[in-house]
Amino acid sequence: MSELSIRPATEPDVPLILCFVRELAEYEKLSHAVTATEALLRTALFGERPAASALIGSVDGEPAGFALFFSNFSTFLGRSGLYLEDLYVRPEYRGKGLGMALVRRVAAIAAEQQCGRLEWSVLNWNEPAIRFYQKLGAAPLREWTVFRLHAAGIHRLAGMDDTGRSG
């Protein structure tokens, strides 16, 4: 069985994060859309006012994927939320539970921050991702093709009961 580990990204991870972004873009047939640079990511993730956070996932000590997310806000809920911008696991490491572990960690962060929702978007043709997200309990918002977990779903995914306690 493989050993999975997840840790917050640090500034020295910026080249790795950009590499993951480019690999994800290639998979999504969007390589032409990537204009990110190490300098831009460094500022966005570790500058004076970080705009996003990232997690690095490893399998048996090898960097294998990442999750990048940021805060958003719902006026309807009157609460912040987290938006999962990118979730990527290298093909050779898929099926080992790293994607699930990364999403669970993001859900735990959302629960700790008392977020009202966790949401993300997926390309309509990406059936493996859609099946994975539905398995998490997320539901598509058909008009937007956005997936969302409300507080109860965030807690469940984070391994907590409805009151936010570990269970």
Q: What are phi and psi of 65, to 5 degrees?
A: 180, 175
Helix (H, G, I), strand (E, B) or coil at 114: coil
CB-CB contact of 45 with 14 (8 Å): yes
Active site residue 133: yes
Catalytic residue among 83, 88, 93, 133: 133
Distance CA 27, CA 123 (A): 11
Residue entry with tokens 């999975």? 4
Residue entry with tokens 């690095």? 56
CB-CB contact of 52 with 106 (8 Å): no
The CA angle 123-128-132, to the nearest 5 degrees, is: 100
At position 1, the amino acid (one-letter code) is M
Distance CA 61, CA 46 (A): 24
Q: Which residues are known to be catalytic?
A: 133
